[in-house]
Structure 1
Amino acid sequence: MRALTVRPGRPGSLGVEEVADPEPAAGELLVRGVALGLCGTDREIASGEYGRAAPDRGRLILGHESLGRVAEAPHGSGFNPGDLVAGVVRRPDPVPCGACAHGEFDMCRNGRYRERGIKELDGYGAELWCLETDYAVRVDAALGLAGVLMEPASVVAKAWEQIERVGARAWFEPRRALVTGAGPIGLLAALLGRQRGLDVHVLDRVTDGPKPDLVRALGATYHSDAAGDVLTAVRPDVVVEATGAAALVCEAIRGTAAYGIVCLTGVSPAGRRLTVDAGAVNRAIVLENDVVVGSVNANLRHFRQAADALARADREWLHRLLTRRVPLERAASAFERHADGIKTVITLEGGAR
């Protein structure tokens, strides 16, 4: 079979190569790959900045945003040939830590977890892959190719779960939410905010292209003005920060309404300096009972929440997020950045629409 592989730590090693077909172990599905979504993590791995192959392997099959069609399923597994599925990315560490032992492996304490297509486990960027039934999530067949949004939607589902858990420490009836960044994570965060009945606002720098229209199609409000001005006008109860821009993070922390919650989902690059009035930030957090919480990755529960959210979403809207579709044989071109793009998808077979 063909697979998209890379030698972690070696820039320029990305390629499509022939590898042996996988053999499912007991309790595993054999899945025929349908599509693979790309994100910044994949680009970092391809450029040699990140990623780790298994100790006995030189190459890593890339890809963690999966969509596949079951080819073979164990009897009594609850899955059948033809089912669309997505695979959970992270696996608990073998020790395990307390969080992993309780199924909360997205909150692993010792860092010994493994991740498909990222850290020590081959990913889903192949024509065939195996998947433990305990880490498989059924995708609504009506979603077609948009089912490839399951993994980013799971990250967003976890972020909203964290927001609601933090808010539950006292009376919490948020009305306004601001999402910073209109990439895949930001737009899906806006979708889940609208599904919760919130007045959602989205801030991004672009003024044309598909992003403003996608936000408005949700019944949300799009902004491209200065962050401080938007925060002053909106006074959000909740901010989902999806850019990782350090200055914007600080603006968001200071700009929420009382009892505001800022959930950081974007990772800021290291080495950039920013002068911050730490005292003012401290006063804003303490005197208004504000909270800043980071959120990354997802466990099985969040994938199931994502499946429910996507099944309830407008399918045409979801498909509009898939702005580039590239066949596996031209996978290298999928890593090129396009200014007005949202989600690039590598197609692994022609069966999803």
Structure 2
Amino acid sequence: MRAVTVSPRIPGSLCLVEDWPEPAVEEGGILVEALAVGVCGTDQDIIAGHFGEAPPGQEQLVIGHESLGRVLEDPTGTLHRGDLVAAIVRHPDPVPCLNCAVDEWDMCRNGLFTEHGIKGLPGFARERWRVQPRFAVPLGAAFARVGMLLEPTSIVAKAWEHIERVGHRARWDPRTTLITGAGPIGLLAALLATQRGLTVHVLDRNTTGPKPDLVRALGATYHTESVNEVDLQPDVLVECTGDPRVVLDSMCKVGPTGIVCLTGMSTGGRTIDFDAGALNRTLVLENTVVIGSVNSNRRHWEQAAAALARADHSWLDALITHRIPMSDFTTAYEVNDGTIKVVLDLTA
């Protein structure tokens, strides 16, 4: 079968292998026909050689962690042939740590977790894959075109869960939120914010393309100015760009007792002239909380599935700006500022 692979830590090693081995039964009892994988910045960083880890004893890593497939067989009786399914990306570490022991593997404390298509487990950019029942998330027929959005939605579902947990340290009655970045994570964060009844503002530099219309279709307000120029003191700010300047400005932007949730990843290596003392004063005097959020556990995947089921699927479909056949795989992984979500069609 065909698979898209890289040699981890070797830039430019992306290739399409025509005779990749069938998935081993040890990967899981549920055999799945791959339909599509979503492409994100993590994939591009792995292709650039920044990180990535092949499974033990292998030199190549099948990439792709935003999965969508159709069940071919399930002797475990968990699913039925023809069911749509997505696979949870992270698996708990074998020790396990305190969090992995209770299935909170997104909060792993010792770093021994594994992740499909990223760290020690084969990804889903191959024509067939297997999954264990505990890591299989069933999807209804309505998800046939957008099911690969489940993984990024699980990321923001976790973020909102943790925001709300922190919020309840005092009386919690948030009214407004600012989302920085209108990529897939930012737009999905905005979607979940509107489902919570919040007044939503989204900031992005793009003045053309689909982003402004997608934000307005949610009933949210689109901004193109800097964080400091937005005339707003939000109760919650979800930072989705990873840009160091935006991150720092966001910490100063929220109102008293506000919460800043960082979901974007900075690349590092960039220094900024910034008044750290003023930031410290603001955080302390206004009881501001800054949290980081990454990955998700099964509970968040299920929350994500429920959120997407409530969403307008034509809006979700519009997030996918490019659907690229597997035969043209290199195009799918090229960085393009005009895209929102690129999907690799594994059936073409």
Is this a same-fold pair by TM over 0.5? yes
Match of 1:145, SS state, is coil
Structure 1's unaligned 5+ residue stretches are none
Distance in 2 (alpha carbons) for counterparts of 1:234 and 1:349: 46
Aligned to 1:97: 97
Matches within 5 A, 1:18-167: 18-25=19-26, 28-77=29-78, 79-167=79-167
With over 3 angstroms needed to count, the CA separation of the structure-2 counterparts of 1:243 and 1:27, relative to structure 1, is: closer
Deviations 1:204-228 (A, max 9, x none): 0011100000000000000001210
Deviations 1:52-101 (A, max 9, x none): 00220011111100000011012432x10111111000000101110100
Moved more, 190-199 or 40-49: 40-49
Segments of 4+ in structure 1 off by > 2 A?
23-27
Q: Given that residues 257 and 288 in structure 2 are in contact (C-alpha distance below 8 angstroms), is that contact kept between their aligned partners in structure 1?
A: yes
1:282 to partner: Cα distance: 1.0
Moved more, 137-146 or 213-222: 137-146
Aligned to 2:199: 199
With over 3 angstroms needed to count, the CA separation of the structure-2 counterparts of 1:126 and 1:26, relative to structure 1, is: closer
Distance in 1 (alpha carbons) for counterparts of 2:330 and 2:225: 35
2:43 maps to a residue whose letter is D
Deviations 1:92-126 (A, max 9, x none): 01011101001111000010000000001101111
Structure 2's unaligned 5+ residue stretches are none
Moved more, 2-11 or 24-33: 24-33
Deviations 1:21-68 (A, max 9, x none): 124349621000010001011011111111000220011111100000
1:258 maps to a residue whose letter is P
2:201 maps to a residue whose letter is H
Q: Given that residues 27 and 74 in structure 1 are in contact (C-alpha distance below 8 angstroms), is that contact kept between their aligned partners in structure 2?
A: no
Q: Given that residues 51 and 119 in structure 1 are in contact (C-alpha distance below 8 angstroms), is that contact kept between their aligned partners in structure 2?
A: yes
Aligned to 2:221: 221
With over 3 angstroms needed to count, the CA separation of the structure-2 counterparts of 1:210 and 1:347, relative to structure 1, is: same
1:246 maps to a residue whose letter is P
1:87 maps to a residue whose letter is A
1:278 to partner: Cα distance: 1.2
With over 3 angstroms needed to count, the CA separation of the structure-2 counterparts of 1:281 and 1:12, relative to structure 1, is: same
Distance in 1 (alpha carbons) for counterparts of 2:166 and 2:232: 21
Distance in 2 (alpha carbons) for counterparts of 1:159 and 1:107: 12
Q: Given that residues 99 and 108 in structure 1 are in contact (C-alpha distance below 8 angstroms), is that contact kept between their aligned partners in structure 2?
A: yes
Distance in 1 (alpha carbons) for counterparts of 2:191 and 2:262: 17
Distance in 2 (alpha carbons) for counterparts of 1:304 and 1:337: 30
RMSD: 1.1
2:246 maps to a residue whose letter is L
Distance in 1 (alpha carbons) for counterparts of 2:32 and 2:279: 49
Match of 2:8, SS state, is coil
Moved more, 12-21 or 60-69: 12-21
With over 3 angstroms needed to count, the CA separation of the structure-2 counterparts of 1:102 and 1:74, relative to structure 1, is: same
Q: Tell me how many residue pairs correspond in the alignment.
A: 347
1:332 to partner: Cα distance: 1.0
1:133 maps to a residue whose letter is P
2:58 maps to a residue whose letter is R
1:101 maps to a residue whose letter is A
1:10 to partner: Cα distance: 1.1
Q: Given that residues 28 and 74 in structure 1 are in contact (C-alpha distance below 8 angstroms), is that contact kept between their aligned partners in structure 2?
A: yes
Aligned to 2:335: 337
The reply to whether residue 259 of structure 1 matches residue 257 of structure 2 is yes
2:164 maps to a residue whose letter is E
With over 3 angstroms needed to count, the CA separation of the structure-2 counterparts of 1:75 and 1:53, relative to structure 1, is: closer
Distance in 1 (alpha carbons) for counterparts of 2:56 and 2:23: 18
1:340 to partner: Cα distance: 1.5
The reply to whether residue 346 of structure 1 matches residue 320 of structure 2 is no
Q: Given that residues 140 and 307 in structure 1 are in contact (C-alpha distance below 8 angstroms), is that contact kept between their aligned partners in structure 2?
A: no
Distance in 1 (alpha carbons) for counterparts of 2:24 and 2:243: 43
TM-score (norm 1): 0.96
Distance in 2 (alpha carbons) for counterparts of 1:126 and 1:20: 10
Deviations 1:150-194 (A, max 9, x none): 000000100001100100111111000000000000000000000
